[in-house]
Structure 1
Amino acid sequence: MPAPTLPSLPRYTPAPATKEDLEWAPLPIIDFSKAGTPEGCLALSVQVRDAMRTYGFLYIINHGYTQAQNSRIFDIADAMFTQVPEDEKKHLVGDFQKTGSYRGYKPRQTWDISNGVRDQIEQYNFHRAVTDPEHQQHPRALEPFFPELRAFTEHNHFNIVHPLLRMLALGMELPEETFVKLHSFDGPSDSSGRVMKYHPRSAEEEAMTNNVWIKGHTDIGTITVLWSQPVSGLQIMCPDGQWRWVRHIENALVVNISDGMEFLSGGFYKATIHRVRQPPADQAGCTRLGVFYFCQAEDDVRLVPQLESPVLQRVGVVRRFEDARAPTMRQYYTGVISAYGVSKLEKREDGTEEEVIHGVVVKHYN
């Protein structure tokens, strides 16, 4: 049977991968071709457990999308910026301070980075259901691609996040559906796709921000899936306290633990600090296009440790707040999103900046 004809759109051609000799983070690579059987899932759970305990980040290969499907998603992502008129983008800008959700467009120069310099990042967040007008109005230019975008969010949720959640549960000696039950696709949550376009900055802005494009932070949901792309910029704080770059691997995913999973796991899994900085010299002036799936637990899930875990009973719980004061997933993410990049932060002696969201101390690392 011939393949269906897809709607046409301009091809996106990214910059070549850097040839600079950078200090790369030694992140584990997980082969998801083995995830389809109970035996394979159990074997991978050991690798995933150790990776998320040590680095909070890992790569996934053989995740079910071909290179052609990968490239097509980046074509659609680029179209969200290049094929949508500016006046329509302005009409669809999300009021994240009011709603606590990033759905819609975020224009450049919304967030304060440092020393009065504001960001140069365009962003578009889309609800995972994509086609339901109850959740979100989309640009007209995206309508032909709704089926592909819905297939993309479902693939991330069911074929990547759910297997990972099972492995994370097994790593804590919990029933494998423990975390999956908290992450339905159709239930109330703000799990969503995102595209981000990082535009180059002036030399003066780079000097004033020490080349940092997004300050060091941890993510707010449970699992973040980044589709690897060749323009370097992402760095993670490694266990020895040093920033190291995340290398591009063709058609791989870069996955990290977020705050919500750290809380649910009682600190067993690590929400790792990461940042985005100016690309290396041979990619200077290049635009950086990112494609993500941000997964969150359902809105009413209280972010308390799974104390029935035999592992937690052995190693102990690391809490950032008392269980009785634990926020729900919705309370936490709406609080952080409403404040991010616009609230006044308290500077500490160690150079970090802090704010308190529903009793949780949230740090930013510059």
Structure 2
Amino acid sequence: MPSSVIPPVPHYESAPVTTEHLEYADLAVIDISQANSAEGRAQLALKVRDAMSTNGFFYVVGHGYSSDQMKRMFDIADVPFSRVNDEEKQKYVAQTKQTGSYQGYKLRQYWHIDGGVRDQIENYNINHDVTRRTHPEAVRPLLPEISQLAFHSHMNVLHPILRLLALGLELPEDTLVNLHKWESQSETYVRFMKYYPRHSEDEEKTNGVWLKGHTDFGTISILYSQPVAALQILTRDSEWKWVEHIENAIVVNAGDAMEFLSGGYYRATIHRVVQPPPDQRQYTRLGIFYFCMTDDDVRLVPLVASPLLQRVGFKRWFEKDEDAPLMSEWRKARTSAYGQTALLKSNTEARIEEEVINGVIVKHYN
């Protein structure tokens, strides 16, 4: 039988792991391979429930992709940035503000950060159905591997996590899986994201913040760990702590939609991106993400059938369920507004800026 030929791509050389002393967040490590049995899921569900109801972040290991496979995927992730010229990139720019979709490129200087400083971040976004739209020429031969990554992330990472979260709420374990079908219409997508070093003047104006503290708008965010330290989470003690790199691990956090569905029990954690430590500042920071959302037609209301929520109580953002947004509505509103709208200072805390989206106050932390 003829062997399949893997398209060659240039190797992306990532930064060495920082040797700086940083105050890291104490996050749980979940070996997802243990979720293959009912007994393993029952044990992991308690750990995941604790992680999601406290920090809102945890690590996943045992996810089924080897270190060599992930090195290959990071090489692929750099292709939309290093192997596509500016003229071709313009042809595939996402019409984010008009459509509320990130599909395609978000080029540098689109988002306003602070003090007149705009971002130095490029990302390329690909729907989990990679055939949804066309792609730059250099990306096309790599679509089978990107599609495989999306499918793997969905079925072997997202779905096991959703089963554990459902069990944590004492619901049937497929409750959340049934809201995140692979074949359904949704905006769940792969993101390749590249951060470029900034001028010292911009660092001073923004106090070293590259992305303000924010919550993600989906249900679950999956980040394949990479070595450049920059991601920080806001703990319940109101302290910013770094997220440490673990080789071939995944960093998982909850977003707004999961907080809505869980009645506030699973927190959408506030996180930000800041200037890396001194020994990594000359490097670019390349990331691979899988941003997950429910099917478009799911209404974001609390899962009130949960025995746990009935015991401990839950929050409603809307008096009537029919007033709550559909996933598609929430996603479009949050996406089109991010980095483009004027934020108002909070009346309660100086570092918080706010905007109102679909009747919900969305906070940003500078």
TM-score (structure 1 length as normaliser):
0.97
The alpha carbon displacement at 1:136 in A equals 1.2
Match of 2:326 in 1: 328
Match of 2:111 in 1: 111
Q: Matched residues in 2 for 1:261 and 1:332: separation?
A: 12
Q: 3-state SS of the aligned residue for 1:197?
A: strand
The alpha carbon displacement at 1:3 in A equals 7.1
Q: Matched residues in 1 for 2:62 and 2:5: separation?
A: 25
Q: Matched residues in 1 for 2:51 and 2:364: separation?
A: 23
The correspondence of residues 215-294 of structure 1 with structure 2, limited to 5 A, is: 215-294=212-291
Q: Matched residues in 2 for 1:295 and 1:69: separation?
A: 22
- AA aligned to 2:357 is I
State whether residues 235 and 246 of structure 1, in contact with CA within 8 Å, keep that contact through their aligned partners in structure 2: yes
Q: Matched residues in 2 for 1:23 and 1:93: separation?
A: 37
The alpha carbon displacement at 1:347 in A equals 1.2
- Return the match for 1:316 from 313, 316, 332: 313
- AA aligned to 1:280 is P
- AA aligned to 1:341 is G
The alpha carbon displacement at 1:90 in A equals 0.6
The alpha carbon displacement at 1:251 in A equals 0.2
Tell which deviates more after alignment, 142-151 or 248-257: 142-151
Match of 1:174 in 2: 171
Q: Matched residues in 1 for 2:160 and 2:205: separation?
A: 43
Q: Matched residues in 1 for 2:36 and 2:277: separation?
A: 38
- Per-residue Cα deviation, 1:236-288 (whole angstroms, up to 9, x for no partner): 00121100000000000000011101100111101100000000011112110
2:151 is the alignment partner of 1:144: no
Q: Structure 1 regions of 5+ residues with no counterpart?
A: none
- AA aligned to 2:193 is M
Q: 3-state SS of the aligned residue for 1:30?
A: strand
Q: Matched residues in 1 for 2:240 and 2:279: separation?
A: 20
Q: Matched residues in 1 for 2:355 and 2:291: separation?
A: 22
Q: Matched residues in 2 for 1:202 and 1:314: separation?
A: 52
Q: Matched residues in 1 for 2:205 and 2:319: separation?
A: 39
Match of 2:344 in 1: 346
- Per-residue Cα deviation, 1:174-210 (whole angstroms, up to 9, x for no partner): 0001111100111111000001100000111000001
Match of 1:8 in 2: 8
- AA aligned to 1:313 is Q
> Residues 2 and 322 from structure 1, CA distance in 2 versus in 1: closer, same or farther, beyond 3 angstroms?
farther
The alpha carbon displacement at 1:4 in A equals 4.0
**Over aligned residue pairs, what C-alpha RMSD do you find?**
1.2
- AA aligned to 1:160 is V
Match of 2:180 in 1: 183
> Residues 319 and 285 from structure 1, CA distance in 2 versus in 1: closer, same or farther, beyond 3 angstroms?
farther
Match of 1:153 in 2: 150
Q: 3-state SS of the aligned residue for 2:138?
A: helix
State whether residues 109 and 120 of structure 2, in contact with CA within 8 Å, keep that contact through their aligned partners in structure 1: yes
- Per-residue Cα deviation, 1:268-318 (whole angstroms, up to 9, x for no partner): 101100000000011112110011000000111000000010000100012
Q: Matched residues in 1 for 2:78 and 2:356: separation?
A: 35
TM-score (structure 2 length as normaliser):
0.97
Match of 1:80 in 2: 80
Q: Structure 2 regions of 5+ residues with no counterpart?
A: none
Q: Matched residues in 2 for 1:205 and 1:170: separation?
A: 46
State whether residues 317 and 324 of structure 2, in contact with CA within 8 Å, keep that contact through their aligned partners in structure 1: no
- Return the match for 2:210 from 199, 208, 213: 213
The alpha carbon displacement at 1:62 in A equals 1.0
State whether residues 234 and 271 of structure 2, in contact with CA within 8 Å, keep that contact through their aligned partners in structure 1: yes
State whether residues 304 and 323 of structure 1, in contact with CA within 8 Å, keep that contact through their aligned partners in structure 2: no
Pairs aligned (count): 363
Q: Could you tell me the percent identity over the aligned residues?
A: 54
